[in-house]
Amino acid sequence: MALVLSGLWIGQNVNVLPAAASLNAPIYDQLFKVLFSIGTILFIGIFGLLLFSLIRFRRRDGETGDGVAVEGNLQLEIFWTAIPAVVVLFVGIYSYDIYDRMGGMVPLSDPHAMHGGMVASSDSGTAEGDSAVIQASVLGTPSPTSERIWGGIGSPMAGGATALPVEVTALQFAFLFHYPQGDITSGELHVQKGQPVELRMEARDVIHAFWVPEFRLKQDVIPGQPTVLTFTPIKAGSYPIICAELCGPYHGGMRSTVVVHEPDEFSAWFEKNTTTTVASALSSSSTG
Amino acid sequence: MTIALTPQTSSPPPGLQPEGWLRYLSFSLDHKVIGLQYMVAGFFFYLVGGALAGMIRAELVSPISDFISRETYNEVLTLHGTVMIFLWIVPVVNGAFGNYLIPFYVGARDMAFPRLNAVAFWLIPPAGFLLIASYFIAGAAQSGWTAYPPLSLTTPAAGQVVWILSVLLLGGSSIFGGINFIATILKMRRPGLKMMQLPMYCWAMLGTSILVVLSTPVLAGTLVLLSFDIIAHTGFFNPSLGGNAVVYQHLFWFYSHPAVYIMVLPAFGLVSEILPVHARKPLFGYTTMVYSILGIVFLGLIVWAHHMFTSATPPWMRLFFTIATAFIAVPTGIKFFNWLATLWGGKIALNSAMLFSCAFIVHFVFGGITGVALAQVPFDIHVHDTYFVVGHFHYVVYGGTVFVIFGSIYHWFPKFTGRMLNEDLGRFHFLITFIGFNLCFAPQHWLGLNGMPRRVAEYDPQFTLVNQISSVGALLMALSTLPFLINVLWSAFSGRVAGDNPWKALTPEWLTSSPPPVENWKGEAPLVQHPYGYGIPPGQIDLGAATGRELWSSGQ
């Protein structure tokens, strides 16, 4: 009992994760605390039992006898078959719930389920044209309609807010971000606090992985498989974007930054970069 | 007349096989010689792989890439993984101990196919030297031991092709070994010996060999296709030629997840042999142990896609593989609780073999707990391909299997050589290995959670201190091989003479001389129907000395 309580206490007070900066990060941290509590209880329990046995039942000097000839105990064995089974079932159901809340169960092959927020956007004048452009550029193949878009995990659109579409190109050894709404190309990802972001990701050469530890999000970007990842940042600040799949000699240097702006700050950034010419947008991407 | 009636065993016929130390360098057909050949060759490659690990940890002392070039770093990490898995752990827990022990355990004079057995061993040294030579000649493979395309198609081709060739040879060796073990365990048993009377290591090797035979050919086929992609520019896995890179991942992990069980199931078996002897108690729950091995074999085959949770796998697939993976904890849990119950109430000798085995329990439980966490998709999404995973699998394969290998060497060295290892040096070896290992790999979990990806030569400077702690642990682990090597070399020639059965063990390998003769026994093989028949029957317990717990647990 004391073991269970202390495990729960440690689990609740453990602080080993980076800042939680996206909508699904706090959900993730809940799961982490539960897993950490259960893990602590099991580990300390088993470690304690082992240590106790080694000390209590050690062979003392001059002892030559044997232990008790216990070959097994069916009730006991059923009991400890049940412990991991119950724990695993509980963890499985709980993590399914977490996964669902993170938006992991959105079907893959229906792009409209992923694009829901954007298609419903009010500025219908550009929305249609935009989405056609995006479709074509994301899919990038002669027959875009038959192409399957592979979904990643991502928080569902909160409150029907308009998602900001960003095209991400991963190549050796950088991420490039293109904003179709303002025709901005950047080496850093700029997003607005509270607004969902829809990343349409594509890899040029080899497999890369888009990872932002503070968002608790990771998605492989595989050549030939356009992938959509959605998330909602909830905390302003700058966070690292890290490539997490071995992609060549400079894999460790393939990093960028995601800047989460306050809303007015973001519009200022967006306005500033939209008005510039294509040439200076390109130069800003090479310096960033 | 009498000469004609003299049994063969009284005067060994002048064999075609070399005698003395020379037979260890020959194409010997004796399973014990082959077992030791596997072990010594494996240990040589362990030192090579350890040196490579040392280079990795030296590079990671500082956050910038300064010790070796980035290309070399990727070659080193690829070689480290490949050498440790295919040339050290798999050959030693399967080939070395399997060949040495299985014929004893089934009461046979040799393996079912001795010549195939020798061929399986002699594939290993050329494959290993080919792999290592590729580094000096053309540059080794740079795409990690997973060799994911399209990266493996774009890195220098020569190194990658040699890597494929080498892994194919090692896979072939593994399949030959697996077939041999299955045939030996099922068909070479001494008359009267039932399957449910076999020592647990036989069941572990049977399960392992089934996995080897079912899954290794898939890896071989996959690598052949990959080599076509590299050499002939076919497009099986090349997206720009219409191939699919994710298919490779499925095929690769269809072997490489079972490979984890190919590395740990034999270790489970070895621990099941060591614990009862040194705790002087029967192995607890023999029947459930057998069924849990079979359960692990079955589940181990259907969990591969948990390595691909971020590879755009469909949601149903993520769910299925989460559940299947997490359920491996059930049969594994049974085994661990049974080992704890084996220790409970025993007369435990705290020698090196026992200490290494108990450290295995601690490490594997820890690795198992992080493993169940990693099986949960939402958890894995964050830590996949990070140092958390590196920490996790080193707890499983080093803290688990390699600790068992050391424990087993302390346990069976008297049988191999007829001499005891020095216990004080052994316990010293254990202590620094234990401290070094935990210092090296425990902090890596924190690194992964906080944003350090794996396979990087440079990292965020905020992680410098923790990486340096980890490197100090690695240095301790490197130093810990010194007392072990000194101990083994010194004891082999001038250690205390062991006698036939220094541990008073009951399994059949101890019921012959140390080292055993060719063909294992002079005269008929013993029939051992109770390999774990240790202990005083419950009726004979001195009631005054027994605790209530002992009475309760033995009353059934």
**Rounded CA gap, B508 and B335, in Å?**
23
**Rounded CA gap, B389 and B523, in Å?**
52
Structural domain includes residue A74: no
Cβ-count burial of A61 within 10 angstroms (0-12 exposed, 13-18 middle, 19+ buried)? exposed
Domain boundary among A34, A69, A101: A101
**Rounded CA gap, B474 and B479, in Å?**
9
Helix %, strand %, coil % of chain B (to 5):
70, 0, 30
- Token digits for A239? 């966070």
**Cβ–Cβ below 8 Å for B459 and A252:** yes
Residue B337: what residue type?
A: F
Both A168 and A92 in one domain: the answer is no
Mean pLDDT of all residues in A8-29: 82
Q: B506-517 pLDDT, tens per residue?
A: 999 999 998 999
Q: How many CB pairs under 8 A join A and B?
A: 300
Chosen for mutation from B322, B325, B330, B444 (greatest number of chain A CBs closer than 10 Å) is B330
Nearest CA in chain B to A253: B458
- Token digits for A65? 């006898």
Q: How confident is the model at residue A112 (pLDDT cuts 50, 70, 90)?
A: very low
Structural domain includes residue A61: no
Q: What number is the ipTM of this complex?
A: 0.87
Both A262 and A168 in one domain: the answer is yes
Beta carbons of B188 and B106 less than 8 angstroms apart: yes
More confident site: A62 or B298: B298
Residue B20 is predicted with a pLDDT of: 73
**Cβ–Cβ below 8 Å for B365 and A47:** yes
**What does the DSSP 8-state code read for residue A241?**
E
Residue A5 is predicted with a pLDDT of: 80
| Residue bearing tokens 């991502």 | A154
Under DSSP, is residue B63 helix (H, G, I), strand (E, B) or coil? coil
Is A70's pLDDT higher than 60?
yes
Could you tell me which residues come within 8 angstroms of residue A198 by beta carbon, excluding any fewer than 6 positions away?
A114, A115, A117, A118, A163, A164, A165, A166, A228, A229, A230
Q: Output the 3-class SS for B103-158.
A: HHHHCCCCCCCHHHHHHHHHCHHHHHHHHHHHHHHCCCCCCCCCCCCCHHHHCCHH
Domain range B33-335+350-554, CATH architecture = Up-down Bundle (1.20)
Is A76's pLDDT higher than 70?
yes
Please, where are the H alpha helices in B188-314? 200-231, 245-279, 286-300
Residue B15 is predicted with a pLDDT of: 58
**Rounded CA gap, A40 and A6, in Å?**
9
Both A94 and A170 in one domain: the answer is no
Q: A147-166 pLDDT, tens per residue?
A: 556 666 655 554 456 788 99
Q: How confident is the model at residue A116 (pLDDT cuts 50, 70, 90)?
A: very low
Q: B4-14 pLDDT, tens per residue?
A: 444 444 444 55
Q: A80-102 pLDDT, tens per residue?
A: 888 889 989 898 888 888 888 87
Structural domain includes residue A60: no
Cβ-count burial of B475 within 10 angstroms (0-12 exposed, 13-18 middle, 19+ buried)? middle
The number of beta carbons lying within 10 Å of the beta carbon of residue A230 is 28
Chosen for mutation from A32, A70, A93, A216 (greatest number of chain B CBs closer than 10 Å) is A70
Cβ-count burial of A221 within 10 angstroms (0-12 exposed, 13-18 middle, 19+ buried)? buried
Q: Which residues of B touch A99 (CB under 8 A)?
A: 318-319, 376-378
| Residue bearing tokens 């001494």 | B190
Q: How confident is the model at residue A13 (pLDDT cuts 50, 70, 90)?
A: confident
Both A117 and A83 in one domain: the answer is no
**Rounded CA gap, B501 and B498, in Å?**
7
Residue A139 is predicted with a pLDDT of: 38
Chosen for mutation from A14, A66, A94, A100 (greatest number of chain B CBs closer than 10 Å) is A66
**Cβ–Cβ below 8 Å for B550 and A68:** yes
Both A176 and A83 in one domain: the answer is no
Under DSSP, is residue B462 helix (H, G, I), strand (E, B) or coil? helix
Structural domain includes residue A163: yes
Beta carbons of A70 and B284 less than 8 angstroms apart: yes
Residue B540 is predicted with a pLDDT of: 59
Q: Percentage of chain A with pLDDT > 90?
A: 31
Instruction: Find residue A239's DSSP bridge partners.
Output: A258
**Which helix H or strand E contains B354, and what residues bound it?**
helix B352-375
Both A222 and A269 in one domain: the answer is yes
**Rounded CA gap, B141 and B147, in Å?**
8
Kindly report the pTM of this predicted structure.
Answer: 0.89
* Domain with A185 in it: 111-287
Structural domain includes residue A40: yes
Nearest CA in chain A to B365: A43
- Token digits for B84? 């440790």
**Rounded CA gap, B348 and B503, in Å?**
12
- Average pLDDT of the residues of chain A: 78
**Cβ–Cβ below 8 Å for A152 and B285:** no
Closest CB to A77 among B288, B326, B336:
B288
Residue B378 is predicted with a pLDDT of: 87
The sign of the torsion formed by the CA atoms of B96, B262, B237, A227 equals: negative
Both A95 and A135 in one domain: the answer is no
Residue B350 is predicted with a pLDDT of: 93
Q: How confident is the model at residue A145 (pLDDT cuts 50, 70, 90)?
A: very low
Q: Which residues of B touch A31 (CB under 8 A)?
A: 376, 378-379
Q: Residue A180 maps to which CATH number?
A: 2.60.40.420
Instruction: Find residue A169's DSSP bridge partners.
Output: A176, A202
**Rounded CA gap, B191 and B108, in Å?**
10
Residue B260 is predicted with a pLDDT of: 94
- Average pLDDT of the residues of chain B: 90
Q: Which residues of A touch B455 (CB under 8 A)?
A: 246, 251-252
The number of beta carbons lying within 10 Å of the beta carbon of residue B502 is 17
Both A89 and A125 in one domain: the answer is no
Both A93 and A201 in one domain: the answer is no
Mean pLDDT of all residues in A206-213: 94
Closest CB to A16 among B245, B280, B446:
B446
Residues (pLDDT < 50) of chain B are: 1-12, 543-556
Both A43 and A141 in one domain: the answer is no
Structural domain includes residue A32: yes
Q: How confident is the model at residue A135 (pLDDT cuts 50, 70, 90)?
A: very low
Q: A225-239 pLDDT, tens per residue?
A: 888 888 899 999 999
Number of domains in chain A: 2
